[in-house]
Amino acid sequence: MKIRVGQGYDVHRWVEGRPCILGGVEIPSEKGPLGHSDADVVCHVLCDALLGAANMRNIGYHFSDKDPLWKGVASTLLLKKVMEMIREAGWELANADVTVILDQPKLNPIIPAIKDNLALVMGVDVDQISVKATTSEGLGFVGRAEGISAMAVALIQQD
């Protein structure tokens, strides 16, 4: 059996009046992340972690923010396509671990729904996906409520 690990990191600026979508779940918030797609940092970091593990470059290479095809697209669609790509290459997800860094809104009550949705989109068991939230203790752009960031690691395996 072959195994590989990949990591992902993403950051988006907060803007008023935009929906806050994380892991394909809309989170109640007055601000949302700005981006070419729906700016779902959870899906973006998972895409990058999976693509990196499979040695397939990154999300921007496959889904350029210069391409109008991806304008406003749900990032769950991108994640689904990435899962198809790694499966076509003979890989399968062993597990993934995501950390979202933001001070507000609080995510703990919504994490189970995010995990359920990610598992559905990725075609895996919910226990293969870990999602956590932490704050920046009021420091930096996250602490000043200027943006959101997330990171992920994914372990993939091939028989």
Q: What was the pLDDT predicted at 128?
A: 98
Nearest C-alpha neighbor of 79 from the set 107, 108, 114: 114
pTM beyond cutoff 0.95:
yes
Per the CB < 8 A criterion, the answer to whether 64 and 70 are in contact is yes
Residue whose structure tokens are 């210069």: 66
Q: Which helix (H) or strand (E) holds 45?
A: helix 41-53
Q: What was the pLDDT predicted at 130?
A: 98
pLDDT in tens, 10-43: 999 999 999 999 999 999 999 999 999 999 999 9
pLDDT in tens, 66-120: 999 899 999 999 999 999 999 999 999 999 999 999 999 999 999 999 999 999 9
Rounded Cα distance between 27 and 71, Å, is 21
Per the CB < 8 A criterion, the answer to whether 22 and 105 are in contact is no
Q: What was the pLDDT predicted at 21?
A: 98
Q: What was the pLDDT predicted at 159?
A: 85
Residue 142 has pLDDT above 90, yes or no: yes
- CA 152 to chain centroid, in Å, comes to 8
Rounded Cα distance between 96 and 153, Å, is 6
Q: What was the pLDDT predicted at 113?
A: 98
Nearest C-alpha neighbor of 100 from the set 34, 41, 60, 18: 41
Mean pLDDT of 52-79: 95
For 68, other C-beta atoms within 10 Å of its C-beta total 9
